[in-house]
Structure 1
Amino acid sequence: MNNLAIDKGFTVIELLVTLSVAGILLSVAAPSYRDFVQESRITAQSNSLLSSIMLTKSEAIKRNSTATICPSTNGIACTGGTVWSNGWIVFADADGNGAVDAGEEIIQVGAAFTGGNTLQTSVGDLRVTFTANGFSMGFNSTFSLCDSRGNAHSRALILNNQGRVRTEKGTATC
């Protein structure tokens, strides 16, 4: 018979070394992961608003009539003031008055933002209306999207009177 002892498992020292290495790796990786999640969230939210603005413009051209996007807290009327982070609606605005009237179709409802991010425009920008030619005359706006990291990681969506939107990173006012 062979009297060699066969060890199964780990010693306490091996276990402590492994846990120490894992703890060090996690302490380095956690902040990077948090930044990754925040960056992904703000990019997705910026793209969501951008696509809704482009949908509004497209619908105005397609319908040969005005279409409006406005902040909305209930998904059926323009009720959000200048705070867009609680959601928005895109609707066919046949009379161009910026309000959802009887018979006007709500095309899209934008969901409220998560993660505590804020999206707002300057005072007075309660809506954006596109005309049948795709212009947003009189509705040039800057949308400021911010998270807890401040201005350096913010997004600005800038809409001009011709209906063109451009985005800038780190230039929004938070």
Structure 2
Amino acid sequence: MRYQYYRRTTSGFSLIEMVITTVILGILLAIGMPSMQRFSDDAKVRSVGRELAAGLWQARAQAQSLQQTVTVCARSTQGACSSSKVDWKNGWIVYVGGVLNKRPATASILLESTLDQSRIALGVDNPQLSFAPNGGALAQTISVSCQNCQADPRTLTIARNGQVTIS
């Protein structure tokens, strides 16, 4: 009589295969995380730059449309116009009218933006930017950068004729 040996078949992974796979996955994640963080920071800087540019474009268009001065001011933590250029980190308010150091009347507010990106810094020389009824403005540059990270900064340029460009 012959004995037949049956080989047991196993399904799944062995412990060694699982450990090797986990180690390889850990190495790939360790290599990829820094570039992922930089990508995320770059996206935040681009997003804030575009949002501010959109507010400035809207302010200029409304100034020309309404034939009135439209101002973009730094938003304080209380939601009023700030007299400090540091407060751009809280966002901005676009409103019809001249320079204020208080909250504009609700009817005159065209746009209010809060900036919830704590690592994003806006370098603006003035706490308020005004567009004349003809769309013109004081020429200046605004830098949008990331604090404590390696994201590429963006620069918004406001020309004397009020045109806003991003680079």
Q: Which amino acid aligns with 2:96?
A: A
Aligned to 1:149: 149
**Percent of aligned positions that are identical:** 25
Count of residues in correspondence between the two structures: 160
Aligned to 1:43: 46
Q: Classify 1:80/1:88 alpha carbon distance in 2 versus 1 (closer, same or farther; 3 Å).
A: farther
1:49-101 deviation digits (Å, cap 9, x = unpaired): 000000100111111111000101247421151121211100011xx3x1255
Structure 1: unaligned runs, 5 residues or longer: 169-174
Q: Where does structure 1 differ by over 4 angstroms across 4 or more consecutive aligned residues?
A: 100-104
Q: Classify 1:38/1:80 alpha carbon distance in 2 versus 1 (closer, same or farther; 3 Å).
A: farther
Aligned to 1:166: 165
The match for 2:26 among 23, 26, 29 is 23
Q: Classify 1:103/1:71 alpha carbon distance in 2 versus 1 (closer, same or farther; 3 Å).
A: closer
Structure 1 residue 155, shift from structure 2 partner: 1.4
Alpha-carbon separation, structure 2, partners of 1:68 and 1:119:
17
Aligned to 1:91: 95
Structure 1 residue 102, shift from structure 2 partner: 4.8
Aligned to 1:172: none
The match for 1:13 among 12, 16, 29 is 16
| Structure with larger Rg | 2
User: What CA RMSD, in Å, does the superposition of the two structures yield over aligned residues?
Assistant: 2.1
Alpha-carbon separation, structure 1, partners of 2:16 and 2:34:
28
Alpha-carbon separation, structure 2, partners of 1:31 and 1:126:
35
Q: Classify 1:26/1:115 alpha carbon distance in 2 versus 1 (closer, same or farther; 3 Å).
A: farther
1:60 aligns with 2:63: yes
Alpha-carbon separation, structure 2, partners of 1:135 and 1:103:
25
Structure 1 residue 158, shift from structure 2 partner: 1.5
Alpha-carbon separation, structure 2, partners of 1:73 and 1:32:
34
Aligned to 1:171: none
Flag the structure with more relative contact order, 1 or 2, with Cα contacts below 8 A and sequence separation at least 6.
2
Structure 2: unaligned runs, 5 residues or longer: none
